[in-house]
Amino acid sequence: MITMRLRRNHFVMRRSCIKKQNGAALLIMLTILILGAASLLLGKLNKLNFQFEHYHESDQSLLTAKEALIGWALSYSQRPGLLPVPDRRNDNLYDGESDCPNGAINTSHLLGQLPWKAYLSTASCSSSRGGLGAQLKDADGERLWYAVSANLLYSSGYPTINSDTANLAAGWITVRDTQGNILSNRVAAVLLAPGKLLAGQNRSAAAPTAANYLDSLTIGTTSYRNFDSDLDFIAGNESDSFNDRLTYITIDELIAQVERKVGNTVRRCLDAYALASGGKYPWAAPLEGSASPSYTGVYNAHFGRIPTTLSTESSPGINDLVMSTSWPSSCFSVPGYWASWQASIFYHVAPGYAPGSGSSCPTCLTLNSGGSYRAMVVMGRSALAGQSRANNADKGTVTNYLEADNADIDIDYENQSATAAFNDRVICIDGSVLCK
């Protein structure tokens, strides 16, 4: 009896020991599985973190290039808004210089590496400036690539660049999303990070073709090639066959920046003039619909275009001797630049700051029914639906440029958000104060 009880107790103890051992083994196995999963997850997270940092480095380079390219365009004194020609392989090397064509621009001139050096020769580009001044590369050490609209390039002469450039129907670049949908078909320039070498690409030659840097992506039955000359680019997801990254500048955002530069330049010139003229401003050049726009100031014309030939008459035939008879040096004097803008920029001088006045404001100009300003500059931006600027009669009609309260030529002006019915930009002149 005792023996049987001892055997039974031994059996129970043995089963308990086996259970404990099995439990410990399971715990060890579970621990190993958890550690393995954690290690795998950590490896994936590290890989994702590396990819994120890699993408971030290329994206930062692209954004820096975008800002630098806009800055280049704004600082181009002969034609703000002009963009450089890419560094192409037609000279059998990528040397950082713009490879400007002799004669007309065609699509083969519009894609290449982003130029960064100054021109060594001005024979075909009519410029001493050239590239951005900094050699920008992606995370894989490759120079950025660049495509540009022919609408913004020098080609045997400067293009006309003003607010109405944004209304040109043709010549812009198209950029698509990862599904092939159009993000914008009004693109002025595209910047691309080519990434690492992919299968089938070879960059060992002195000047490899674009296909050895830029990639293609097929969606359904349609192939999109970033390396061809159709001015149609796609931003795809990274894969074994595609690793381009890109950013772009639309013509609308570029022209908006150029308009700000032009407007600020006009304001500074008017303020500089007033500083040398007892705080007063010249008469405007009134609108004339029967002939080409006149840019000659006329006595008692408070509203009109900014005059090239000034009138400072305090009464007919008698000048206000306190006032200068010419604009400050370099103001409204760059022929191609200013000629592209002067028809769409209007000017109103308050009676208290016109020639012969006392430089004070019994009646000054207002903005949105408030304030007290010496003068106003109003930029008639790109033509809206119903506005025409084709002939002399059109150009002599203020409503073809200005909208709403800005077109009635009273003393009150308005700024508002741009819409399909309003896009004026009003700049208040009040001793270096700029209205927002």
Q: DSSP characters for 204-250?
A: -SSS--GGGTS-EEEETTEEEETTSSSSEEE-PPPBTTB--EEEEEE
* Predicted local confidence at residue 128, as pLDDT: 46
Give me the residues paired with residue 219 across strands. 222
Q: DSSP characters for 115-150?
A: P-SPPS--TTT--S--S-SS--B-TTSPBPEEEE-G
Q: DSSP characters for 15-61?
A: HHHHHHHHHHHHHHHHHHHHHHHHHHHHHHHHHHHHHHHHHHHHHHH
Pairing of strands 365-367, 313-315: unpaired
* Predicted local confidence at residue 53, as pLDDT: 72
C-alpha 180 chain-centroid distance = 23
CB atoms within 10 A of CB 55: 17
Per-residue pLDDT tens for 229-260?
A: 899 999 989 999 999 999 999 999 999 999 99
Residues composing the chain = 436
In what helix (H) or strand (E) does residue 313 lie, and over which residues does it extend?
strand 313-315
| Owner of token pair 């592209």 | 340
* Predicted local confidence at residue 129, as pLDDT: 55
The rounded distance, in Å, linking the Cα atoms of 235 and 238 is: 9
Q: DSSP characters for 72-98?
A: HHHT-TTSTT--PPPB-GGGSS--SS-
Angle between helices 251-275 and 2-74 (to 10 degrees): 50
The rounded distance, in Å, linking the Cα atoms of 389 and 164 is: 10
The rounded distance, in Å, linking the Cα atoms of 329 and 268 is: 12
Residue 144's pLDDT band (cuts 50, 70, 90): very high
Burial of 387 (0-12, 13-18, 19+ CB in 10 A): middle
Report yes or no: 66 and 249 within 8 Å, Cβ to Cβ.
Answer: yes
Q: What's the mean pLDDT when you consider all of the chain?
A: 87
Report yes or no: 90 and 66 within 8 Å, Cβ to Cβ.
Answer: no
Report yes or no: 430 and 374 within 8 Å, Cβ to Cβ.
Answer: yes
Residue from 275, 299, 274 nearest 375 by CA: 274
Residues with Cβ within 8 Å of residue 228, at least 6 apart in sequence: 210
* Residue 45 reports pLDDT greater than 50: no
pTM of the model: 0.84
Residue 48's pLDDT band (cuts 50, 70, 90): very low
Per-residue pLDDT tens for 178-221?
A: 999 999 999 999 999 999 999 999 999 888 999 999 999 999 99
| Residue range 359-370: mean pLDDT, rounded | 87
Residue ranges covered by each domain of the chain? 58-250, 276-429
Between residues 127 and 293, the one the model is more confident about: 293
* Predicted local confidence at residue 108, as pLDDT: 87
For 251, the token pair is 């013509």
Per-residue pLDDT tens for 71-122?
A: 999 998 889 999 999 998 877 788 888 887 777 888 888 999 999 987 655 4
| Owner of token pair 């809206």 | 384
